Structure 1
């Protein structure tokens, strides 16, 4: 018995990790979404304009581009699109900006399809989220500060480096490292 795929909600998945996309695309299709995949911001915007997705999963860092720009454009196209940001580079600054720009949730990788689907349908905040007993480490605070300054300079690494009083390559090296877990 075949089903018409157009009956399923349209979902845009934008991530530069092609293997992760392939796995996530199949998992979301198994949960009855019509999944459309792009691997860069420009293609993601073009695809969104064509398919008008009800849902979107957007990687925070897509190559050298920011997924935040895509979130902003998706909201401009349709303010009802339910957008979840996925990232391996989580920071307070980018989480705040993602929500301000219109994402409904912000998940760290590796997130599975069930977590993503649950995030799409989560309507309220959770007052039971655990508050950590110890403060952030100095290394984590540095990471957070770098992310905040980068967001303030619209993702422009050269401008952020100037504001921080460091060489652009030094900032790039620091940003390429995974954030310190606390």
Structure 2
């Protein structure tokens, strides 16, 4: 399996954000030697000559990763095993094609928590997506450290996925609370 492999320049950010992108140790490996201004743009598979490729050895999956920051142009692309940190590769959810929101913990006291969008796909050079609009806040990770995302049909924007299961669980809990309240009246 082969994937597009690049990292966008991060010059648009202030020194604190650049340091956080380069020093985070829980989400991704920062690729060296593959900087490209075209990395954050949609890649036409018919004319891929502007982006390097990489051969994946362990997983037949590609990844596209970027911070969930408004107007971001920073993007990382590559093979699942060369971009994603070891601890994240074991997350079963990330082995399914789709996009996910992951929270990165700050490494230094003067940096803030940063969330990253990670999109995974199976197939040769499947990591061609351009930069979508970010996931709007507020959102909560709760006990999970991964949130499933979907692409809004009407525009190039990511949003939190809602599942029938979570809707059912909320309805079930609401019904239970109503029954309990009615018994104590």
Tell me which interval the TM-score lies in, with the shorter structure as reference length.
under 0.3
- The answer to which structure has the higher helix fraction is 1
- Give the TM-score of the pair, scaled to structure 1: 0.28
Q: Which has the larger radius of gyration?
A: 2
- Give the TM-score of the pair, scaled to structure 2: 0.27
